[in-house]
Amino acid sequence: MKKVFMPLVMVAVLSCIPYVGVAYFGMGYLFGVIIPYLAVLLFVAGFAWRMYDWLSRPVPFCITTTCGQEKSLDWIKHQKLESPATKWQAALRVMMEVLFFRSLFRNTKAELHTGPQLAYASSKWLWMGGLAFHWSLLLIGLRHARFFFIEPPLVVQLIERTDRFFELTLPAFYMTDAIVLAAITYLVARRLRDAKMRIISLQTDFFPLFLIGGIVLAGMSMRYVAKVDVLAIKALMMNLAAFSFDAPGSISPLFYIHLFLASVLAVYFPFSKLMHAGAIFLSPTRNLANNSREKRHVNPWNKKIKFRTYSEYEDDYREKMKKAGLPVEKD
Amino acid sequence: MMHKNTLIGLVIVAMLAAAAYLATGAETRDASPAADSGTADSTVCIYPKEYMQTHHMQVLADWKEHAAHEGPDAFMKTPDGRRFQKDLATCLGCHDNNRFFCFSCHNYANVKPNCWNCHISPQDLP
């Protein structure tokens, strides 16, 4: 179980670093200004580099995975999402994948029963857990816009108002906070519960989950448990958004734990499996149109073939062919 | 086996009873002193400014709960012996000298508390 505890210990150590640094050595400037800037720089540069790398790879053939009727004769019903024929249909399919995890919805589970008999059944838990996790993270991220804008965009305000719909506690309770915690718990438990999953899970699978869990817990405890000075935090975040290097005011170390773990996540992002966020748009099995019968795909790195047509051949040998009595097309 | 289940059942019943007892707050009920109407000292807040900046919402939530349960008996005693009626009006008694007192920070931090769903906001007063 080393591969489960090592990431846990790493996240614990990572959250101790800013606490010690700020609470005992007054390194608020390092953890509040320098490290966040470096992290964002590395995130943007790393993300762009990874995307550039993938985008510059040639995709010679369309290797679309399909699971429906491709575009054919008029009277055969074409399944536009399962077997997209145009770029727009393919784009729609990618977006359905990104927003609703469409192919995970088809997840199946195999079970061996006595008999022996192998049974397959639909298994939607991972789809539900993943959807809850990703959507909560998206909404939580958007909600954070209130720290970066004087007046956040209307969409964000609507999201925020919906999120605290229950009005349970006095800094209003956000339902996405509970959902993301439940989803992380499920996603960790899923990897631990089943022996097959335990074997194929790696440290790099647990680390991001624990890291995001740590960020969420630090953020939630700032809001619901140990209150922090929101005004100083907003001033710092507005400064960061304006690329200013002003020193932060006095803010509780808990905030620096949250910010530092988020910075670590940003740095870790481009170099890890978290790049699936960008890669999903580039997966050639999803984003290409299944039009190999309509359109000729030529491999761009194939050598130019020098063809020799019959008319050229005849031009070269016409006289000899005539002498030998062979028929020629042109005289 | 039957014996064990009975025991578990008894433990659960005992725990529920204890929880109910704690939830009603019966064990912490002190003889509430007659409400002597001590006028609030309006020069100093109930807690230090730094504490109030970060924790005022918690204080208000506690006050709301106590006031709802105890009504006019809901008083709070500061460490230096001053007594305050647990009421939003106690806060506004001092803090309404600036009608933007609540709103300047809340607007800046984009916080929209639900106080004014029921209470009249100082901004709505003439």
Domain boundaries, chain A: 2-323
CB–CB of B109 and A234 under 8 A? yes
Q: What's the token pair of residue B73?
A: 């008996």
Task: Write the pLDDT tens digit of every residue in B84-99.
Answer: 888 888 888 888 778 8
CA distances to A57, A248, A303, B19 from A297, in Å: 16, 57, 15, 73
Confirm if A248 and A28 have CB atoms less than 8 A apart: yes
Q: What is the pLDDT of residue A20?
A: 95
Residue to test with chain A: of B110, B114, B116, B117, most A Cβ within 10 A: B110
Residue entry with tokens 């199946």: A108
Q: What's the token pair of residue B49?
A: 């400014």
Contacts 24+ apart (CB under 8 A), A151-157: A151/B110, A152/B110, A157/B110
Nearest to A170 among B57, B105, B109 (CB): B57
pTM of the full structure? 0.82
A211: how many CB neighbours lie within 10 A of its CB? 21
Residue A19 pLDDT more than 90?
A: yes
Query: One digit per residue, pLDDT tens: chain B, 126 residues?
Result: 567 888 888 888 888 888 777 766 554 444 444 444 445 556 788 888 888 988 999 999 999 999 999 888 888 888 888 888 888 888 888 887 788 888 889 999 988 888 888 888 888 877
Residue in chain B closest to A151 (alpha carbons) equals B110
Question: Residues for chain B: how many in total?
Answer: 126
Residues in Cβ contact with B32 at an 8 Å cutoff, skipping those fewer than 6 apart: B70, B73
Q: Is B104 on the interface with A (CB under 8 A)?
A: no
Residues of A with CB under 8 A from a CB of B: 146, 150-152, 157, 160-161, 167, 169-172, 227-231, 234
Strands (E), B9-88: 75-77, 83-85
Res. A60 pLDDT band, cuts 50 70 90: confident
CB–CB of B58 and A227 under 8 A? yes
Nearest to A170 among B53, B54, B61 (CB): B61
Q: How far apart are CA A233 and CA A259, in angstroms?
A: 10
Choose which CATH entry (1.20.950.20, 2.40.40.20, 3.40.50.720, 3.90.320.10) describes domain A2-323. 1.20.950.20
